[in-house]
Structure 1
Amino acid sequence: MTGDRPKKWVHWLPLAAWWYNTSFHSSIRTTPYKVVYGQPPPTPIPYKALSSSIEIVDKSLQHREATVKMLKEHLHNAQHRMKTQADKKRSEREFAVGDLVFVKLRPYKQTSLKSHCIYKLMPRFFGPFKVLQRVGAIAYKLELPERTRIHLVFHVSQLKKKTGSSSCAPYLPTTFTAQGHVILKPETVLDRCLVKRNNKPITQVLVKWYNAPSEESSWENLYDLQARFPNFSP
């Protein structure tokens, strides 16, 4: 927008700010101008060439109209580019009653150790579970185990249709944080060993987590484990 005149970009800021603040925002369902002042923004009257008898005023207003038009075009193109990039990661999904689907959940474990980056490789899908009902256009109600203490309705983006003989974790975790992450509680200690950290011996234990299969057991520092779970006796 200011490629030809890079030193003039500061003169365009007021018009850009005005256009942004008086445009409808889908996130707040209104314009920032109305949020601040409590009324719709005034609509500027388009200027027609030669409407003013003063030459310098006529040129100034014509330049303003051309600038506003160019700003709208560039901002529209920017929005289109962002939408195109976002749509590349989206896919149309639709399920029928009786279909088997996997549910996406993100396992979460409180830890301060940097060496446990493998947690992000833990399974995120559980199931399959049967679709009982379609709720609206983008949500589905699933048939979950009775012991599950979560809501039965999920957004379509959290579901994936079961195809072939593929399978994920057959169980569904029951403990969640306020953000909806699965909390993995220690169930038992499978093994223990001594390791050296900063020239000091530290006891580590191989923990079997309550909401995870045995193959996802992990080594934890015994002191940190007891600090996070004081009621757990290894």
Structure 2
Amino acid sequence: MVDRSLEAREVVIQLLKFHIAGAQQRMKDMANKHITDRYFEVGDWIYLKLQPYIKISVAIRPFNKLAAKYFGPYLIVERIGDVTYRLLLPIDVLIHPTLHVSQLKRCLEVPTTINHPPFLHLSSPYCSLPESILERRMVKKHNKVVCWVLVK
């Protein structure tokens, strides 16, 4: 009796594993349907796509949805791995020059002007350092305590 129930359980487990493997394969095929392999050569010109959190940290814009999506074009200097490239970026750009292929887009023709990412320097009149803290208050927001500070 116990042997038959163990054998039946093993059959059910094998059947479940078979169906789970089939479902995983179907999900993998659907996910990979829209993925294309991108390959660039050394010397190609490409556009750089910045992530939204980097765009916010490098420039203050009133409407981020109107910000430029791609910057460049930049020259590929070196291919480091299958999906990693090193770019020739200007000196004042504070982005690491080694980037993943998902952040790059092929430039079909090199324009005469290059669109560099805007960066806010500390010497800019729009970037001011706080002089002093005038008031500090603890506020409850979304069931968490948050510290609010009034800065001069």
One-letter code aligned to 2:17: K
- How far is the alpha carbon of 1:168 from its aligned partner? 9.6
SS in 2 for 1:108: helix
Pairing of 1:141-220 with structure 2 (within 5 A): 141-164=86-109, 170-174=115-119
Q: What count of residue pairs does the alignment treat as equivalent?
A: 118
Q: Which residue of 1 aligns with 2:31?
A: 86
Note if contact 1:102-1:168 (Cα within 8 Å) is conserved in structure 2: no
Say yes or no: does 1:136 pair with 2:81: yes
Which digits, 9 at most, give the CA deviation of each residue in 1:151-174, with x for residues without a partner?
100001111111146799711234
Say yes or no: does 1:97 pair with 2:45: no
- Structure of larger gyration radius: 1
Q: Which residue of 1 aligns with 2:131?
A: none
Which digits, 9 at most, give the CA deviation of each residue in 1:117-138, with x for residues without a partner?
x633532211110000001111
- How far is the alpha carbon of 1:63 from its aligned partner? 1.0
Q: Structure 2: which 5+ residue stretches go unaligned?
A: 127-150
Superposition TM-score, scaled by structure 2 size:
0.65
One-letter code aligned to 1:159: L
Q: Which residue of 2 aligns with 1:69?
A: 14
Sort the Cα spacing of 1:62 and 1:120 in 2 relative to 1 into closer, same or farther, 3 A: farther
Note if contact 1:125-1:169 (Cα within 8 Å) is conserved in structure 2: no
Two-structure CA RMSD over aligned residues (Å):
2.9
Note if contact 2:45-2:110 (Cα within 8 Å) is conserved in structure 1: no
> Percent of aligned positions with the same letter in both sequences?
37
SS in 2 for 1:126: strand
Superposition TM-score, scaled by structure 1 size:
0.44
Measured in 2, the distance between the counterparts of 1:168 and 1:70 equals 62
- How far is the alpha carbon of 1:70 from its aligned partner? 1.4
Measured in 1, the distance between the counterparts of 2:48 and 2:38 equals 14
Higher relative contact order (CA 8 A, sep 6+): 2
Note if contact 1:127-1:167 (Cα within 8 Å) is conserved in structure 2: no
